[in-house]
């Protein structure tokens, strides 16, 4: 079993590489796997990341009021990464990890505010945080939260959640999604993470999307944004469309001339019984309407009747095909 010191060292290695923007897509997946291996890995990583963020904030504040150079953890870890031997690397990493942990515990004496939440396929869960903010987790969602006297932070690892954030100008509400941060003081909006893609829909107020790679993006009421890589596209939406985007809060899916293939993909997010579209002709059919997310059979019967399609069911698979 790995010691706590080894875990802290490994966590600090990941944070240092992420800060230097050295993580490729496959390495990010490796980081996710490492975090999932043990709760101790995730706690160590989140602790050090929180300390890192606070240290950067303190550095920025001090730079405005003083001209003397400020100590930077990134400089230490850069020198550590360049060390000629694994032995010196480990010694420096151990020292950095211990120092970062000391910062965490000195700035935030109680770290028991860390909470993990998850939902299985087809389930929803409502979480009320200590500040009064309410989170609704959609199907197959994983996230962690820290809400205390100093910060309000959510790490969205997979899936989708709707946020009804209590207003507090002194403690911005921060949602971390990979390398992006969504920052608000009080508003209502949804966030979905699907691999490297980020979807945000704002129902009330406005949010800021921050990234290392792109300028700050502002998203206002009845606007949605799609972020992929360094690109963010913001589009206006009608209020009805914005409400439809979060129809899953009532267990419903709303389609507005969506292809049958895309509609099937949406249903598959919510059900263990999967829809398979057998051919392009069927997949390209466009449909609209309101559907119960958990009722695959009813949806299949409707498209069969409406479009004359062929339905075949085998175990937990419903195949939809053109009539040929």
Which CATH number does the domain housing residue 295 bear?
Answer: 3.55.50.30
Instruction: List the beta strands (DSSP E) in 148-278.
Output: 152-164, 173-177, 180-184, 188-194, 197-204, 206-211, 217-220, 223-228, 231-236, 252-259, 274-277
What are the φ and ψ backbone dihedral angles of 145, each rounded to 5 degrees? Answer: -135, 150
Q: Are both 293 and 317 inside the same structural domain?
A: yes
CA atoms within 13 A on the CB side of 229: 3
Residue 19 — very low, low, confident or very high, per pLDDT cuts 50/70/90?
low
Express each pLDDT in 32-89 by its tens digit: 888 878 767 877 777 677 666 555 555 444 444 444 444 444 454 455 445 544 444 4
* Residue 245 forms part of a structural domain: no
Q: Are both 82 and 17 inside the same structural domain?
A: yes
The least confident of 25-34, 94-103, 126-135 is 94-103
C-alpha separations of 45 from 35, 49, 239 in Å: 8, 6, 39
Nearest CA among 109, 111, 77, 72 for reference residue 95: 77
Q: Are both 172 and 279 inside the same structural domain?
A: no
Last residue in a domain, options 83, 107, 131: 107
* Residue 186 forms part of a structural domain: yes
* Residue 78 forms part of a structural domain: yes
* Cα–Cα distance, 298 to 307 (Å, whole number): 14
Q: Are both 103 and 125 inside the same structural domain?
A: no
Residue scoring higher pLDDT (5 or 26): 26
Report pTM: 0.67
* Cα–Cα distance, 188 to 156 (Å, whole number): 16
* Cα–Cα distance, 203 to 189 (Å, whole number): 5
Residue 3 — very low, low, confident or very high, per pLDDT cuts 50/70/90?
low
Q: Are both 76 and 153 inside the same structural domain?
A: no
Question: With 50 as the cut, is the pLDDT of residue 210 above it?
Answer: yes
* Residue 244 forms part of a structural domain: no
Express each pLDDT in 274-322 by its tens digit: 999 999 999 999 999 999 999 999 999 999 999 999 999 999 999 999 9
- Residue 131 is predicted with a pLDDT of 93
Q: Are both 101 and 142 inside the same structural domain?
A: no
- Residue 63 is predicted with a pLDDT of 44
Full domain range(s) for residue 56:
4-107
Nearest CA among 263, 259, 276, 258 for reference residue 320: 276
Q: Are both 85 and 139 inside the same structural domain?
A: no
- Residue 65 is predicted with a pLDDT of 41
Q: Are both 188 and 96 inside the same structural domain?
A: no
Question: With 80 as the cut, is the pLDDT of residue 185 above it?
Answer: yes
* Residue 242 forms part of a structural domain: no
DSSP conformational letter for 183: E
* Cα–Cα distance, 50 to 55 (Å, whole number): 9
Angle in degrees, 0-180, between the axes of helices 86-107 and 4-19, rounded to the nearest 10:
90
Q: Are both 131 and 207 inside the same structural domain?
A: yes
Longest dimension (CA), the chain: 77
C-alpha separations of 105 from 101, 108, 190 in Å: 6, 5, 32
Last residue in a domain, options 77, 107, 137: 107
Query: Which long-range contacts link 78-84 to residues 24+ away (Cβ below 8 Å)?
Result: 78/16, 78/20, 80/16, 81/16, 81/17, 81/20
Nearest CA among 227, 177, 184 for reference residue 202: 184
Q: Are both 121 and 103 inside the same structural domain?
A: no
CATH of the domain at 194: 2.60.120.1440
Beta bridge partners of 183: 174, 208
* Euclidean distance between the first and the last CA atom of the chain, given in angstroms as a whole number: 60
Q: Are both 26 and 91 inside the same structural domain?
A: yes
Last residue in a domain, options 39, 73, 107: 107
Domain total of the chain: 3
Q: Are both 160 and 216 inside the same structural domain?
A: yes
């Amino acid at each position: 079993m790995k010691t706590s010191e080894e875990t802290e060292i490994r966590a600090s290695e990941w944070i240092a590489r992420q800060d230097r923007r050295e993580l490729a897509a496959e390495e990010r997946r490796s980081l996710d796997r490492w975090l999932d291996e043990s709760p101790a890995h995730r706690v160590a990583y989140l602790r050090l990341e929180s300390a890192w963020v606070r240290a950067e904030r303190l550095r920025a504040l001090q730079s405005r009021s003083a001209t003397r150079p400020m100590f930077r953890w990134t400089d230490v870890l850069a020198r550590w990464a360049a060390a000629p031997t694994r032995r010196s690397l480990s010694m420096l990493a151990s020292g950095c990890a211990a120092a970062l942990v000391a910062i965490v515990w000195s700035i935030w004496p109680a770290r028991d505010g860390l909470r993990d939440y998850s939902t299985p396929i087809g389930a929803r869960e409502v979480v009320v945080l200590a500040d009064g903010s309410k989170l609704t987790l959609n199907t197959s969602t994983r996230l962690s939260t820290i809400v205390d006297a100093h910060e309000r932070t959510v790490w969205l690892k997979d899936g989708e959640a709707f946020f009804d954030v209590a207003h507090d100008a002194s403690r911005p509400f921060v949602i971390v999604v990979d390398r992006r941060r969504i920052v608000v003081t009080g508003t209502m909006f949804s966030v979905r993470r699907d691999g490297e893609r980020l979807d945000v829909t704002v129902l009330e107020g406005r949010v800021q999307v921050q990234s290392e790679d792109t300028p700050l993006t502002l998203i206002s009421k009845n606007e949605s944004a799609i972020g992929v890589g360094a690109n963010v596209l913001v589009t206006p939406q009608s209020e009805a469309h914005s409400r439809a985007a979060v129809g899953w809060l009532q267990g419903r899916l709303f389609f507005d001339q969506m292809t049958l293939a895309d509609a099937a993909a949406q249903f598959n997010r919510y059900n263990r019984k999967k829809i398979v579209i057998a051919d392009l002709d069927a997949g390209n059919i466009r449909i609209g309407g309101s559907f119960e997310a958990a009722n695959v059979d009813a949806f299949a019967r409707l498209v069969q009747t409406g479009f004359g399609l062929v339905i075949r069911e085998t175990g937990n698979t419903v195949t939809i095909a053109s009539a040929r």
